[in-house]
Amino acid sequence: MMHYLPNILFLIALAAGIGYFTMNIKKIIRNVKLGRDVDVSDHKKERWNNVVRIALGQSKMVVRPIAGILHVIVYVGFIIINIEVLEIIIDGIFGTHRIFAFLGPVYDVLIASFEILALLVFVSVVFFWTRRNIQRIRRFWAREMTSWPKNDANYILYFEMVLMLLFLTMNAADLQLQQMGADHYVQAGSFPVSQYIAPLFDGMSEGSIIAIERTAWWLHILGILIFLNYLYWSKHLHIILAFPNVYLGRVQPKGQFKNLESVKKEVELMMDPNADPFAAPAETEEEGAEPEKFGASDVMDLNQVQLLNAYTCTECGRCTSECPANQTGKKLSPRKIMMDTRDRLEEVGANINKNGKFVDDGKQLLDDYILREELWACTTCNACVEACPVSIDPLSIIMDMRQYLVMEQSAAPNELNVAMTNIENNGAPWPYNQMDRLNWKNEA
C-alpha cells in the first residue's frame, strides 16, 4: 500500500487542483450569465477567422514588436511545454517515469524543444519584469495599477520564472541520474539547456540527486496546479478566456454602434401616423412588468460579452495608452473601465454566494466604480478597441452607461443638452434654422 502513496497523493492533488478550478470557472460562467443575452450566432466564418488570426496568431500583439515578440515566446512556450505536463500527469498517476521515452528520437526533439522554450520563456519573463519594475513603462504605472493589480502582475512573472527553473532543475537532476545509471531513470531525452545545470550535482550522492529530482518534479506539477487555481483571482485568466472572447468579439465595422431595439419599438410607434395615441398598451406587455431600462448603470445591465470582456482583460493597458483622453490627462482609462466592471461583477457574485441571490447592496457600477467624468471624456474614437489584443470593447460599456445617464437620468452635460435640443428643434446641433440649410450655395 505504501508503495502507491505517491500515486494516491498525486491523484488527490490533481483532483483537488482541477476540482477547485472547475468550481471557480463555474462561478465565472454564472456571473457572466448575469448579463443580458446577446445574439452571437452571426458571422461564424469571420469569428473563427478572428480566433485563428488574433487569438492563435497573436496578430494584434506584434503591433508593438518588443512586447509582442516576447509575448509570442511565452505563449508558444506555454502551449508546447504543456505537452510535457501531459507526460508528468501520466507518470504521476501510474508511477511511471518518462512514459513517452519510447518515442526515441522524437522524444529527444520534444525534450530539447521544451528546454529551449523554457529558457526563452524565463528570459522573456525577466524582460517583462524589467519593463514593468525597472524601466517602469508608463502604462504599467497608471492610476488604476496600484495594490492588487500591480502585485498580481509581478506574482504571475515570479510564478513563471519559478516554474521554468523547477522544470530545468528537474531535467538537470534527471540527466545526472541517467548518466550515473541510476535505477528507474531511463536513458531518454536530449537536454540542451539543463546539461549546463547538471554539473552542479557532481559529487553528490545518488540519493541526494534523486531527492532533488523528486522535489523539483513535485514542486513543478504542484506549482502548475496552484497557478491554474491562481488564475481565477488574477488578471491572468486571459490565457483561457482570450479564445472565446476573440470569437465573440466585434465583427461589424467599429463605427457601427448597436441600435437599441427597445427604443426602436417606441420610436416606430411615435412615428406611425396610424397609431392611436390613446390606445391601451399592447397586450403582449405583461401586467406589472417593469419597462426595459435604457443603458447600463450596473453590471447586470451590460450584456454577457461585455462581462466576459471584463474577465478576459489582462490589464496590459494598451487601450489606455492609445486613448486620446487619457494621453491628455483626463481621468478616463479604458482599462479601468474593464477592471471596474470585473471588480463590481465579482462583488455582485460574492453577494449572490452569500445570500443565495443578489440582495441590493446600495452600490452600482456607475459612480461607485466608474465616474461620470470618465464617461464624458470619451471621444468614441475606437483607439482602445483597435488596440486590444484580445478584442475587448471598452467603448461599448462607456456608450451603454452614457445611454443610462441621458435616457434614464437626463444627466448629460449641459452643453450637450443644448446641442440635442437644437437637433430636436432645428435638425442641427447648432441653433440654425433648418430652412437655411441650403443658404451656402448663394454665399460668395
Partner 1 sequence: MNETIQVPTMAEYMAEGKKPEVLFWVGCAGSFDDRAKKITKAFVKLLHNAGVDFAVLGTEESCTGDPAKRAGNEFLFQMQAMTNIEVLNGYEIEKIVTACPHCFNTIKNEYPGLGGNYKVMHHTQFLKSLLEEGRLKVEGGKFKGKKITFHDPCYLGRANGEYEAPRDLLRKLEVELVEMKRCKSRGLCCGAGGAQMFKEPEEGKKDVNIERTEEALGLNPSVIAAACPFCNTMMTDGVKGKEKEDQTAVMDIAELIAQAEDL
Scanning residues 330 to 349, which ones bind partner 1 (CB under 8 A)?
A: 330-332
Candidate list 134, 280, 282, 438; residue touching partner 1; CB under 8 A: 438
Q: Which is nearer to partner 1, 22 or 379 (CB)?
A: 379
Q: Reduce the DSSP state of residue 163 to 3 states and report it.
A: helix
Using a 10 angstrom Cβ sphere, with 0-12 exposed, 13-18 middle and 19 or more buried, the burial of residue 287 is: exposed
Least Cα distance to 104 among 181, 190, 213 occurs for 190
Helix ranges (H only) for 297-413 are 304-312, 318-322, 324-327, 334-355, 365-368, 372-376, 383-387, 394-403
| 37 vs 272, beta carbon nearer partner 1 | 272
In 3-state terms, what secondary structure has residue 36?
strand
Joined together, the cell numbers standing for residue 272 give 406611425
- The answer to whether 41 contacts partner 1 (rule: CB under 8 A) is no
Question: Least distance to partner 1 from the beta carbon of 177, Å?
Answer: 53
Applying the rule CB under 8 A, the residues between 288 and 307 that interact with partner 1 are: 294-295
Binding residues for partner 1 restricted to 392-421, rule: CB under 8 A: 399, 401-407, 412-413, 415-416, 418-420
Query: 71 vs 318, which CB is nearer to partner 1?
Result: 318
| Burial category of 68 from C-beta neighbours within 10 Å (exposed 0-12, middle 13-18, buried 19 and up) | middle
**Alpha carbon distance 149, 155 (integer Å):** 10
Choose among 120, 41, 37, 21: nearest CA to 80: 120
The least distance separating partner 1 from the CB of residue 285, rounded to whole angstroms, comes to 19
**Region 141-200 residues binding partner 1, contact defined as CB under 8 A:** none
**Per-residue binding letters, 222-261, with partner 1 (x by CB under 8 A):** ------------------------------xxxxxx-xx-
| Nearest to partner 1 of 271, 279 (CB atom) | 271
Q: How far is the CB of 321 from partner 1 (least distance, A)?
A: 11
Nearest-CA neighbor of 401 among 256, 319, 298, 324?
298
For residues 348-387, which are near partner 1 according to CB under 8 A?
A: 373, 376-383, 385-387
Size of the site for partner 1 (CB under 8 A): 72
Q: Quote the CA–CA distance of 411 and 417 in Å, as a whole number.
A: 9
Contact set for partner 1, span 57-86 (CB under 8 A): 63
Q: Does 279 bind partner 1 (CB under 8 A)?
A: no
Q: Given candidates 305, 325, 388, 390, which one binds partner 1 under the rule CB under 8 A?
A: 325
Shortest Cβ distance from residue 265 to partner 1 (Å)?
A: 10
Q: Which of 241, 378, 406, 261 is nearest to 320 (CA)?
A: 378
